[in-house]
Chain A
Amino acid sequence: MRHQGNPWLTSNLFVLGIGILPALLMIGVLLYFTAWAFAFSFTDLALVGRKSVEWSWVGFDNFERLFTRRGFLESLWTTIYFVFFSAIVGQSLLGFILAASLRGMRGTLRTMIEVSIMLGWLVPDIVAAFLWSATTSDTGLINALIVVPLGFQPVNFINDYALAVVTIANIWKGTAWSYILFSAALDSISRELIEAAKVDGATMWQRVSLVILPIIRPHIATNMLFITIWTFTYFPLIFAMTGGGPGRQTETLAIFLYNQSFSRGNLGFGSAISVAMLLIVGGLSLIYLRMLREPT
Chain B
Amino acid sequence: MQSGIVHSRLTALALTFMAIIWVSPFTWLLLNAFDTSSTGQLAWPTTPGVGNFVAAVSGDSGRQFINSVIIAAGTATLSVIVGIAAGYPLSRLNIPGRNAFLWALVLLRMLPAVGVLVPIYFAAQRAGLLNQLGVILALTILNLPFTLLLLKNFFDTVPIEIEEAAYVEGASLWQIVTFVVLPLSRAGIAVVWFFTFTSAWNEFLLPLIFARVQDAFPMSVGLYAAFGRQGAINYGFLAAYSIIYAAPAIAVYFLLRRNLNTGFAGVGVKG
Q: Which of B25, B119, B173, B238 contacts A132 (CB 8 A)?
A: B25
A23 touches B83 (CB 8 A): yes
Quick check: which of A30-38, A69-77, A81-89, A190-198 contacts chain B, the rest being far away? Answer: A30-38
Complex contact A262–B209 (CB within 8 A): yes
Residue B191 at the A interface, CB < 8 A?
A: no
| CB nearest neighbor in B for A218 | B269
Instruction: Specify which chain A residues have a CB less than 8 angstroms from the CB of B95 in the assembled complex.
Output: 1
Docked Cα-Cα span, A13 to B42, in Å, equals 64
Please determine whether A113 and B18 come into contact, CB atoms closer than 8 angstroms: yes
Neighbouring A residues of B249 by C-beta, 8 Å: 122-124
A270 CA to B121 CA, complexed, in Å? 12
Contact partners of A139 in chain B: CB under 8 A: 40-41
Min C-beta distance of B237 to chain A, whole Å: 11
Main secondary structure of the interface of B (DSSP, over half): helix
Residues of B within 8 A of A116 (CB): 19, 22-23
Which partner residue on chain A sits nearest B32 by CB separation? A134
Q: Name the segment of B47-55, B128-136, B163-171, B182-190 touching the other chain.
A: B163-171
Q: Is residue A126 contacting chain B, with contact meaning CB distance below 8 A?
A: yes
Interface size in chain B (residues, C-beta < 8 A) = 82
Check if A6 sits within 8 Å of B164, measured CB to CB.
Answer: yes
State in angstroms the CA–CA spacing of A243 and B230 once bound together: 14
Q: Are A37 and B115 in contact (CB under 8 A)?
A: yes
User: Which residues in A have their C-beta under 8 angstroms from that of B83?
Assistant: 23
CB closest chain-B residue, reference A266:
B118
A211 within 8 A of B: no
Known: A117-B22, A119-B250. A240 touches B118 (CB 8 A): no
**1/0 per position for A1-45, CB-CB distance to B under 8 A?**
111101111011101110111111011011111101100100001
Which A residues lie within 8 Å of B235 (CB)? Answer: 134
Q: A30-B141, A222-B268, A233-B113 are in contact. Are A20 and B89 (CB under 8 A)?
A: yes
For the complex, give the distance between the alpha carbons of A36 and B227 in Å: 35
Partner of B223, one of A2, A29, A130, A274: A130
Query: Which residues of A lie under 8 Å from residue B23 when comparing CB positions?
Result: 116, 119
A117 to B24, CA, bound (A): 12
Chain B residues with CB under 8 Å of A3's CB are 93-94
| Given known A-B contacts A34-B111, A122-B253, A274-B118, A130 and B238 have beta carbons under 8 A apart | yes
Q: Nearest chain A CB to B212's CB is how many angstroms away?
A: 12
Indicate whether A112 sits within 8 Å of B115 (C-beta atoms), given known contacts A22-B85, A124-B202, A285-B110. Answer: no
Flag if A109 contacts B15 (CB, 8 Å). Answer: yes
Q: Does A118 have its Cβ within 8 Å of any Cβ on chain B?
A: yes
Tell me, rounded to whole Å, the shortest Cβ–Cβ distance linking A63 to chain B. Answer: 15
Inter-chain CA distance A84–B171, complex, in Å, is 56
The answer to whether B142 has its CB under 8 Å from any CB of chain A is yes
Say which residue of A8, A130, A229 sits within 8 Å of B112 (CB atoms): A229
CB contacts (< 8 Å) of A262 on chain B: these are: 121, 209
Chain A residues, CB < 8 A from B117: 257-258, 261, 270, 274
Q: Does A154 contact B (CB under 8 A)?
A: no
Report B92-118 residues with CB < 8 Å from chain A CB.
92-96, 101, 104-105, 108, 110-118
Cross-chain contact B111 with A277 (CB below 8 angstroms): no
**Cβ of A96 under 8 Å from chain B:** no
Q: Is B204 within 8 A of A22, CB to CB?
A: no
Chain A residues with Cβ under 8 A from B264's Cβ? 180
Which of A2, A34, A122 makes the CB contact (< 8 A) with B115? A34
- CA A141 – CA B24 in complex, angstroms? 9
A91 within 8 A of B: no
Q: Is B61 an interface residue (CB 8 A)?
A: no
**Shortest Cβ distance from A113 into B: residue:** B19
Determine if B88 is an interface residue (Cβ-Cβ < 8 Å). yes
Across the interface, name the chain A residue whose C-beta is closest to B164.
A6
Q: Which of A16, A126, A289 contacts B93 (CB 8 A)?
A: A16
What is the interface of chain A, defined by CB distance below 8 A to chain B? Answer: 1-4, 6-9, 11-13, 15-17, 19-24, 26-27, 29-34, 36-37, 40, 45, 98, 101-102, 109, 112-113, 116-120, 122-127, 129-135, 137, 139-141, 144-145, 172, 180, 222, 225, 229, 232-233, 235-236, 239-240, 243, 254, 257-258, 261-262, 267, 270-271, 274-275, 277-278, 281-282, 285, 289, 292
In the A-B complex, the 3 residue pairs with the smallest Cβ-Cβ separation, listed nearest first, are: A23-B86, A233-B112, A19-B85
Which residues from chain B sit less than 8 Å from chain A, CB to CB?
A: 11-12, 15-16, 18-19, 22-26, 28-29, 40-42, 82-83, 85-86, 88-90, 92-96, 101, 104-105, 108, 110-123, 140-142, 144-145, 148, 160, 163-164, 167, 171-173, 176, 201-202, 204-205, 209, 219-220, 223-224, 227-228, 235, 238, 242, 245-246, 249-250, 253, 264, 268-269
With A130-B223, A130-B238, A131-B26 already in contact, 7 other A-B pairs whose C-beta atoms are closer than 8 Å? A9-B93, A130-B227, A131-B28, A141-B28, A240-B204, A240-B224, A278-B111
